[in-house]
Structure 1
Amino acid sequence: MNRLFALACFFIYSISFAQNIGFEKDAFAHTYSIVARDTITGEMAVAVQSHWFSVGPLVAWGRAGVGVVATQSFVNPAYGPEGLDLMENGMSAEQALTQLIEQDEGRAYRQVAFLDDTGSVSAFTGENCVEAAEHLTGKHFSVQANMMLNDEVVTAMARAYMQFDKYPVAERVMEALKAAQETGGDIRGKQSAALIVVGPEKTSKEWKEKKIDLRVDDHPEPVKELDRLLKVSRAYEHMNRGDLAVEEGDMTKALEEYGAAEKMFPGNLEMKFWKAVALANNGRIEEAKPIFQSIFEEDENWKEMLTRLPKSGLLSISESELEELTK
């Protein structure tokens, strides 16, 4: 009971302190995170988990062709956009972080990591971050954590990231999050997680800014759910490439991409449907027919959907073939 009382007092003090130095009450994200850059593709990622609601928008920041930022503990969200601005204007990760830390009166309570587009990293853990709190930087990555169950979490994250060096950067940082959780994770438990990946080239098109942008705002197993969403995201990358192939009239490529997606999630009706459409467009009506029938048995709306496709040019078959597929 004394321990619970002490912890409650700490949280009350924490909120009071945050208000006294000008932070919002909700800027309180004790957590573990990783920033990293893929040395082959140049893609940069930041991933995070916390026992706090919707941790992603507060902690994880990224800009294509510039870098990524993780700002946590008593969060000053300004480290995100301001740090990215400094790096975009020519500062290294170390220079940008040093400047912001020197200007911050609350730096003793901060934990921050910057990574720039060259892979240079810089991290800071304030002396008043809650134990267990530390960071560890390596080649093109940094892992950091505070309020952990034990002091092995950060080392486990770094080890996992380096071990899975053949994975794409998104999957590598996910392995780091899994390792953190398996080692003990946040002393308070689990609630939310996020992952963003940005590309190596700057872009003026906002919709191309993030290659991956996934959030789990409130879940009993946020890291597992984030991992599942990443797999779904990868499947839909195949779906998107299939759509582009259809637009270009390359039905062979469309079938290849839709088929790859459907293999990843064989129970997904959307993926099964477009694979069957690609088969039909490639003259493989007999192969498409049983797939369509299995879809229609689960949801008749897909049959109506199929009849609407010829008018839009997405299905290039004869009326008799369409009747055969929908009877």
Structure 2
Amino acid sequence: MTFSIVGRDARTGDLGVAVASKFLAVGALVPFVQGGVGAVATQSYVNPTFGPEGLRLLSSGLDAQAVSAHFQATDPGIAQRQFGLVSASGGSATFTGSGCHAWAGGYAAPDVAIQGNILAGPGVVTAMRAAWEAGTDLPLPRRLLAALMAGDAAGGDRRGRQSAALLCAGPGRGYGGLTDDWVNLRADDHAAPCAELARLLDVHDLLFTRPETTRPLTPEQLDWLRALLIRQGYAAALPAGPWDTDTETAAWALYGTENLEERWVPGGQVDPVALAYLQQRYGAEG
């Protein structure tokens, strides 16, 4: 009923799961990720205890194959189950029970496990593998999403489309750098859920990615920003000339309204991505 990819970025240690299905809110049941521990996708007559239990067993020191063996030995319904998992060290496992509906199967290699059932055919897994292997330069969320979209384009769930989800964690990747929980996006009931997930990831990257580069505002951009802050009611008046504390206070309030806190840079510096967004939203030149 579902196709998924569990992956690890060997460069950064980031972990994640991307999944799609003709099933309501697949993200509520299939993906489980814990930074520094591992990632699990549990599907096909899903046993949702595999997620937290798999992460617990990985945390206790079991490798991916040992966790897979434990599930197979202890779940009486294992013949209808399917799962994939990757550990923080890159070990992986995928399992497809003999009672899963055709086409069902998977692929596992270091840092990745791909699996699906009720698929259009084995070409879905093949396409996902090719996209994963081609995406080594992408950040993990983008790499997982590229693989998911490749599987969708290859036919995906042969019953149709309904939902998709992307869940990722990485060291200090979360909001404010205070948590490992990074990307948690879901399209729960949508005609094109993978495309909707891509749109949501674009919004996520705008709002929650920290600046890669910064630079000073030009005098023209500073004039534009001050005029915007006055026009939008963040200040009654602002002085001309160099950056000042009143402008900073008003600009910080604007960034908070727009949920751009993660892209905030104090002292008259600016993240070009945030500036471009504000200029597009409010209209500007310079």
TM-score higher than 0.5: yes
Aligned residue among 72, 93, 107 for 1:122: 93
CA distance in 1, matches of 2:100, 2:178: 36
Q: Percent same amino acid at aligned positions?
A: 35
2:49 maps to what in 1?
78
2:254 maps to what in 1?
none
1:91 maps to what in 2?
62
CA distance in 1, matches of 2:171, 2:219: 42
Could you say what secondary structure the match of 1:99 adopts? Answer: helix
What's the offset of the Cα at 1:53?
1.1
TM-score, normalization by structure 2: 0.77
Specify which structure has the higher proportion of helix.
Answer: 1
What's the offset of the Cα at 1:186?
0.6
1:110 maps to what in 2?
81
Q: Which amino acid aligns with 1:304?
A: G
Residues 199-218 of structure 1: per-residue CA shift (max 9 Å, x gap): 258x9x99613111111111
Which one has a bigger Cα radius of gyration? 1
2:283 maps to what in 1?
none
CA distance in 2, matches of 1:76, 1:220: 26
TM-score, normalization by structure 1: 0.68
Q: Which amino acid aligns with 1:171?
A: R
2:279 maps to what in 1?
none
What's the offset of the Cα at 1:169?
1.5
1:197 maps to what in 2?
168
CA contact (8 A) 2:185 2:201 kept: yes
Residues 84-142 of structure 1: per-residue CA shift (max 9 Å, x gap): 00110111111112112210000000001111100000111001111110011122101
1:310 maps to what in 2?
246
CA distance in 1, matches of 2:185, 2:29: 14
Residues 12-66 of structure 1: per-residue CA shift (max 9 Å, x gap): xxxxxxxxxxxxxxxxxx2000001111011111100011111112000011110
**Superposed, which structure 2 residues align to 1:250-289 within 5 Å?**
256=215, 279=217, 284-289=218-223
What's the offset of the Cα at 1:151?
2.3
**Superposed, which structure 2 residues align to 1:37-52 within 5 Å?**
37-52=8-23
CA contact (8 A) 2:226 2:247 kept: no
Aligned residue among 116, 136, 142 for 2:113: 142
Q: Which amino acid aligns with 1:75?
A: V
RMSD of aligned C-alpha atoms?
2.9
CA distance in 2, matches of 1:206, 1:107: 39
Residues 282-322 of structure 1: per-residue CA shift (max 9 Å, x gap): xx4532334666x68xxx9x6113459939835589xxxxx
Q: Which amino acid aligns with 1:303?
A: Q
Per mean C-alpha deviation after superposition, the further-off stretch among 129-138 and 228-237 is 228-237
CA contact (8 A) 1:193 1:223 kept: yes
CA contact (8 A) 1:47 1:193 kept: yes
CA distance in 1, matches of 2:34, 2:141: 15
Q: Which amino acid aligns with 2:246?
A: P
Is 1:221 the counterpart of 2:192 in the alignment? Answer: yes
Could you say what secondary structure the match of 1:74 adopts? Answer: coil
Could you say what secondary structure the match of 1:131 adopts? Answer: coil
Q: Which amino acid aligns with 2:36?
A: G
Runs of 4+ off more than 6 Å: none
RCO higher in 1 or 2 (8 Å CA, sep ≥ 6)?
2
Aligned residues: 245
